[in-house]
Structure formats: structure tokens, C-alpha cells
Structure 1
Amino acid sequence: MPEGPETGLTLVCGADRAATAAVAASLRGPRGVLVAPDLRGLGEGVVHRRMVDDDGACDAVLELAHGCVACTLREDLLPLLLRLARDPAVRHVVLLLDPGMEPEAVAEALHVLVPDGADAPVTEVLALRGVVGVVDAETWLDDAGGDDALVERGLGLTADDERTVAQMVVAQAEFADVLVVAGRCPTPWDRVRLEAVLDRLAPRAERLTVADPPGSAPEIAVELGAEIVTRLADLRDDARRGVPEDAHAPLLRGEPPLARDAGVSMLHVGHRRPFHPERLHTAIDVLLHGTIRVRGRVWVASQPEHVLWLESAGGALQIGVAGTWLAGSEDWDDVHDERRAAAALRWDERFGDREQQLVVLVHDADPAGIVEALDAALLTDEELALGEPAWRRFPDPFSHRHVDPCAELPGVVDEAFTEGER
């Protein structure tokens, strides 16, 4: 078997620029290169990028024809990473993501996109060791359950960036292989609740707690960097290691605790019958209050062939198409073995593999109320008896999906219906 790439790559992400930059700097080490894009000028088509190696720091300015993350990756970051991978003096690259860059989307680009002049994606020449996420202990729980817009915090990539802080900080923590919880919680109770949420949101991640801000002292930075490197080298077998998962992956991978702890619980909602589209649309409100994360596959009666992917963080939610159900499909050979096996094990004589599978991370809501609202959105026996031709005529708020023409990065959701921030 051929050996993998020798030069390593580590992604570092977090909402706190200073703390995240300090963690990234602690990981560079001898013969390492730190690459740090700053996208605060992206709306004007300008990207600032700092590169730090053993010889010092070098700043560059890139002007883009189109101000978007996809263009930044294609025109600057991916070609730069390929050049560093070919440099025999470089042994490790640390990519510090701007707070507005979603780590899973960047990782997928590293695995999929082939830059001009290359014959393979970046991960063919750089070994992606993992993702390090930095969590602000004082503010993260409030941010993750809220609905503040990124632009209100100065973190939006453009003036019309509609994403929320919750969407960003939850995605960063959820995708991390090592989580650095930096700073102090307001109270011991807040610390317990934060730990309970992270146990369920990122069960596969290694977790380090740093009471003092990263970078507050050189000895702290050196010790922290060495510990993170050790944890990355000894990740559990099912760690993500920067590999995105599609919408059909198991939702409870990593075996998060399901028992209630400090008012925090993880609900697993599963049903075989479809949702009524209008009643589900109404029930969505209950998912946006007192929850940190909702993720899963949804079947609405008016779209019997489509798998809908539902995902929320705090008060913001998106629903999009994530392919088709295998029921009625002849394309079984085109799907992953794991999905085929799961479908075969749970196959229903009438509905095939179509079902509802949702996980809801609750921190400040009544779990029973969420279950009750979702149950009430399912088709009644009378509606079920009408059959698919009648279901297709149900009024469907989810049929109006928005396609972003600049969303060129690959992802599991190719079309998105944005419910917005509530």
C-alpha cells in the first residue's frame, strides 16, 4: 500500500480571533507554516493573508473579481497549500480560518476541488491531521442558543451575510476533532451546562480546558500546542479528521449521551409516516427556541421522492434537498455501502427507506413539548389513507427553495429553503 503524504495540515477555527490565532500559532512548530486569511474585506473583493514561517511573517493582499469564499479558496488558498506541500523545507501547515469560514465547507473543498495546474485535490498531497476548534467558555453557550447575526458582531463576510453567530459557533465545535475551551464560565453551573452540551454536540472530539486566555504567556502557549499535537496524533478510531459526512450518515455517531444532564438533553425522533408539510412548517417554531442544534432527514408527504435535510443552530434554520430516497429508485449501486445496509435493515414494506430521523439538542426547552409538536405534524390515519397522489397536492411551504448562484463549494444540501432567524 502506498504511503500517504508526509506534510501535515491542521485546520484551526473559532469565533474569537485573538484566542484562535494564539492556538494556531502554538501549533506551527519548527519547519511549520501558519496561513491566516482575513476576509473582513471580502465584500469589497479584497482578502488579506498572513503567512508565518521560521523566517518571519509575510503579508499579502489578493483582489478578487467576485468576493466569495469559493473564489478565495480557488484563487489563493488551495494553490498556496499545494505550493507549500511541494516545498521540502515545510513539514506542517496550519490553516487558521477566518471566523466567517465554515470549517466543514473548507474541508470538503480540500477533499474535492482540484486547483488549476493540479491533478488532484489538496488532501492528496497534504495529510489532513484534523480540525481544532476554539470555544469561548464565557460566551459560547449564549451564542449557540441565540439568533444574533454575524454582521452585528463584525464577523459577517459581506454586508448582506444572513448567517447567525449560532450557526457559526455550533458548526465550528461540531466539526472539531480537538476542542479547546478557553477562558472561564460566568458560574460553575454554566460550566456544567457547557460541558453537557459539548458532550452531546461533539462526542467524538478530544477536549482541553484552558482557564487563562491562549497566548497570555509563552509557556502556556508551548504547553497547549504540545498537548493539542498529542491529542491529534491519538484521536479515537471514529474521529472525523476533517472528513465531511453526508446527509445519510448516522446521526448519533460517536454515541452522545441521551440522558438528561443539567437541563441538557439529546432527543432522537424517529417516525415511519410522513409529515404534513404545512403542519411541519408550523411545528418548526418549537425547534428554534431553547435548542442548540437540530439535524436530520425529513420526509414530507408532498415530496415523497425527496430526502429533505433539516438543520438548525439556535434561532436559525435551513431546509434543503439532500438527494432521493431509495424507495422507488433503481440507483442502489450509486450510493454508499453503509447507506444501502442501513436501508435494507430498516426497510418498510409500504414506505421503503422513507422515514423521519431527527436529533434535537435541547438546553432550555421542554423536550416533551418538542416531541408533541412533531408528533402532531405527522399525517393522520385518514390523511395517510389518501395515498401519494393526494399528498402531492398538499400546500407545501418547502417547495420554494433558494439556490445561491455563488455557493460553488460542494455540500450535502444542493438547494436551501431558509426559514430565517426567529
Structure 2
Amino acid sequence: MTELVVLCGIPQDGVERTISRMRELDPQVVVLHHDLHDLGRGRVHRRWRDDRTDERTVLELAHGCVSCTIREDVLPTLVALAGRARRVVLHLDPRLEPEPVCWALGTVLCEPGSSAPRAPGDGRDPCPVTDLVDLRAVVTVVDPDRWLDDASGDATLPERGLSTLPDDERTVAQLAVGQAEFADVLVTTRPTRRGDDRITAVLDRLSPTAPRLETGHGDHRLFGDGLPAGARRGVPGGVHEPLLRGEPPLEGVGGVRTLVFSARRPFHPDRLHEALDHLLDGVVRTRGRVWLATRPGAVLWLESAGGGLRIGHAGDWLAGADEQAWAAAGDERRALAALAWHPRWGDRAQDLVVLCDGADPDRIDGALHGALLSDAELAAGETAWAGLPDPFGWTHDEPCDTPERDTPEPTGSSPRRAPAPRRDEEGDI
């Protein structure tokens, strides 16, 4: 089966050096790249490299968007390469996060031998690309001289010249953190040296299972060989999976420390909204499940990176769910829910992991605990909770300008281009 590696990173000089090392290790590897700098005009520049050719093609898309590029050309090209090439490196545009691309590789149905994705039910056995190729690893290139600044800032991609799309409001932090967190292998653009303690500590906690390589050295782990048993290998995580992967260190190093917050009572929406400010300064990453008093059945997923944060609807709790919902939940989630089942709340809980770099984790912990319902509010019951002011809606970005003080009507979840609910819960790209 054809082996596939997804390669990404903001520093393109480092990415190109990594490609050179890969081609030295395997001269016949096919490198496929879609340059999205011209996407706003409906054009994508595709480059195909192997041991014989270096072919460049300009693609005209009916709708200039990342989704069209992936569905109309990336996936069909990989389907065409399946079984014909021994190894393929999918070199992502620097403005792309690997997780939604890998979600598409493992979810969007394509017709083997066809030039375009197919819908299910047409009688031609469509399947995802990962049924035809072996997704071996996600490799991310980081520049130690600026990655931590990128990961903790609030500059947007357009401000950094990384995107020209008018509706792209992602931050560089969301991109940098998303690329590093999902990596099976991290490649640094220079050797580790004195003064790198902070970035080393952050990456140890953000991506604990990923080995560190340098761009100047060839290593077959670039192709996914010899990775640790806990390697993700391009498989997106679910909302209800454990938040700590790979046993990251919990002790602090300088100002870098991981806070694990858990509670078995709901958040007061207004107080939580105020507490979120503590997650926007001196915090590299926050991830986890949130339970609001105003919507007792809804699982909300919270993610932050640097100075940007989003909460979105990510499904429902099993507490109060019918038999069909329990059956659809899967064995692992049912088992985890049963192990932690509360006689009153069922599986409903607060579970957040906060990666601090300079922020005081005790202060964050205190702010989050202060946002929980008090004993008196808890005793008032769910009927009273429904009348609490709720500024969130069903998706909510921070910082916000003028949040609505009444509960908005549900509007559905937005795609995970900025932090949002996980892909296996949403199903769009």
C-alpha cells in the first residue's frame, strides 16, 4: 500500500530542507503541494515532484476555498497515486492545519480510480483516501526562534501576510499551535541550544509523543518509521477522549506549567464569560469539555491558542439520552461515562487542560472555580438555571465586542478553521 506523510509548518525554508532530506532518503518519493496564496482569485498552484519531473499546474476553481481545493484536487490526486507510488508526501500550504486535512483524508468518500470525490450510495463503493493509502505520520516543522512568540500572540493570519481571504480571522497562534499539537514528528529548523528551555517545555507538554529532529539530518522517522506506540498517525481525536495524551510532564519548568481543571457542577454562563479573560494572556493552549447551566444537555468544546478562544457545540451528554444515543456513542465513550457516572449529573462534568506559559495556574484555577454555580444556585435547580444570563450562543469567539446578554437561537457550529468543536462531531470541512 502507498505510504502517505503529511508535512506542514509555517517556516517554508525549513519545510523545503525537510523535503530535501526526505528525497535523499527515498529518491522516488512523490511530493505533492498546493500553494494557496492565490486562492482569493479562485486559483491554486499545484506542484508535483518525483525523481523524474517537477510539474507545476495552475488550477481554476469554481469556488476559491480550501474545501474545494481539498475535495476537487487533493483527494482525487491522492486516489490516483494510490498503488502507483511507494511513498507520497503531502506538503501543506503554510496556512493550513493538518488535523482538518487528515479528517478529510479519513472521512470524505472518493471513488477509487475516479477523478473526483463521490457521494455514498451510487453503487461504486466509495471510500476515504485512508482506505487506499497508509497515513504514516504528520510531520511539522517549527522555527525555535519565533514559534513560541507565534503560539502566544494574537496577530491574525492576514496581519502576518499568511492569508488574503477576507473571511479568514484565524490567528497565527491557532495555526502554530494546531500544527505542532497534531504532529507525530517535530522538526526544528536549528539545533537546540541554551535559552530554549521554555519552548522545549511547551512542546514537551503540547506534543509529548512526537520525537524532535533537525532539518539537517535524514531520519526514517520522517516517514513514520519507529514512532512511539502512542503516535496519533493522523487520526483526529474525539471530544470525549482523554485530554492528556502521551503522559506529558505535569511539573512546572520556569513559567511553563499544565493546569488540569475538573468539576462536577455546571458553570454560570456570565461568570464563565468573565473568567475566560484569564485564558487569553500567558496561556499557549486550553482544550476541554464545558457544561453550562443554561443548556444541561449540550457538550460544549472550548479551545484557545494564544490570544484567541472559541467555544462551540460538540454534541450531547449521555445523561438523559435515549438508547439510540447510547448505541451511537461507541464502546469507549460508554465505558468512560460509566466509570465516572454521577448519581445526579450522569456524565456531565467540566474537564479542561490549560498549558500556561507565564500565566499563574492557581489564579486561573480560582477564576474557573469561581465561575461554577454556588451551592445556593445549584439548589435552585434547572428551571432557575434556564433564566441565567447567557452571552455565548452556540459558538462564541473571544475576545468579543458586544456579546448578546440573552441566549441566542442555535445557529450551528462553525468549521474548525479557528478553535472549535472537534471534526468527528461536526462533519464539515
| TM-score normalised per structure 1 | 0.89
Q: Distance in 1 between matches of 2:388 and 2:252?
A: 37
Query: In proportion to residue count, which structure has more helix?
Result: 1
Q: Distance in 2 between matches of 1:406 and 1:357?
A: 22
1:245-284, aligned counterparts within 5 Å? 245-284=237-276
Asked if 1:356 corresponds to 2:347, the answer is no
1:34 to 31, 35, 39: 31
Could you say if the C-alpha distance between residues 296 and 204 of structure 1 is closer, same or farther in structure 2, counting changes exceeding 3 Å? same
Could you say if the C-alpha distance between residues 415 and 334 of structure 1 is closer, same or farther in structure 2, counting changes exceeding 3 Å? closer
Q: Distance in 1 between matches of 2:269 and 2:414?
A: 26
1:154 to 135, 145, 161: 161
Could you say if the C-alpha distance between residues 308 and 206 of structure 1 is closer, same or farther in structure 2, counting changes exceeding 3 Å? same
Q: Distance in 2 between matches of 1:347 and 1:24?
A: 49
Asked if 1:81 corresponds to 2:73, the answer is no
2:3 to 2, 8, 17: 8
Task: State the AA in 2 paired with 1:195.
Answer: T
- 2:284 is paired with a residue whose SS is strand
Q: Distance in 2 between matches of 1:264 and 1:395?
A: 35
How many matched pairs?
Answer: 394
Correspondence for 2:172: 165
Q: Distance in 2 between matches of 1:407 and 1:360?
A: 19
1:328-367, aligned counterparts within 5 Å? 328-330=320-322, 331-367=325-361
Could you say if the C-alpha distance between residues 379 and 240 of structure 1 is closer, same or farther in structure 2, counting changes exceeding 3 Å? same
Contact 1:179 1:207 in 2 (8 A): yes
Contact 2:221 2:227 in 1 (8 A): no
Task: State the AA in 2 paired with 1:345.
Answer: L
Task: State the AA in 2 paired with 1:179.
Answer: L
Correspondence for 1:133: 140
Correspondence for 1:238: 230
Q: Distance in 2 between matches of 1:348 and 1:406?
A: 32
Q: Distance in 2 between matches of 1:405 and 1:368?
A: 32
Correspondence for 1:124: 131
Structure 2: stretches of 5+ with no match in the other structure? 119-125, 396-410
- CA offset at residue 54 of structure 1? 1.1
Contact 2:6 2:89 in 1 (8 A): yes
Contact 1:105 1:410 in 2 (8 A): no
2:181 to 174, 179, 203: 174
- CA offset at residue 239 of structure 1? 0.9
Correspondence for 2:299: 307
Asked if 1:106 corresponds to 2:91, the answer is no
Correspondence for 2:201: 196
Contact 2:288 2:353 in 1 (8 A): yes
Task: State the AA in 2 paired with 1:180.
Answer: V
- CA offset at residue 404 of structure 1? 7.3
- CA offset at residue 411 of structure 1? 1.3
- CA offset at residue 184 of structure 1? 6.0
Could you say if the C-alpha distance between residues 46 and 182 of structure 1 is closer, same or farther in structure 2, counting changes exceeding 3 Å? same
- 1:77 is paired with a residue whose SS is helix
Could you say if the C-alpha distance between residues 247 and 405 of structure 1 is closer, same or farther in structure 2, counting changes exceeding 3 Å? closer
Contact 2:135 2:234 in 1 (8 A): yes
- CA offset at residue 25 of structure 1? 3.6
* Superposition CA RMSD, Å: 2.1
Correspondence for 1:288: 280
- CA offset at residue 355 of structure 1? 0.4
Structure 1: stretches of 5+ with no match in the other structure? 1-5, 215-219, 417-422
Q: Distance in 2 between matches of 1:319 and 1:156?
A: 23
- 1:398 is paired with a residue whose SS is coil
Correspondence for 2:88: 93
Contact 2:394 2:413 in 1 (8 A): no
Contact 2:299 2:316 in 1 (8 A): yes
- CA offset at residue 168 of structure 1? 0.4
Asked if 1:320 corresponds to 2:316, the answer is no
1:399 to 384, 393, 400: 393
Q: Distance in 1 between matches of 2:184 and 2:427?
A: 28
Contact 2:413 2:426 in 1 (8 A): no
Correspondence for 2:381: 387
- CA offset at residue 100 of structure 1? 1.3
Task: State the AA in 2 paired with 1:365.
Answer: A
| TM-score normalised per structure 2 | 0.88
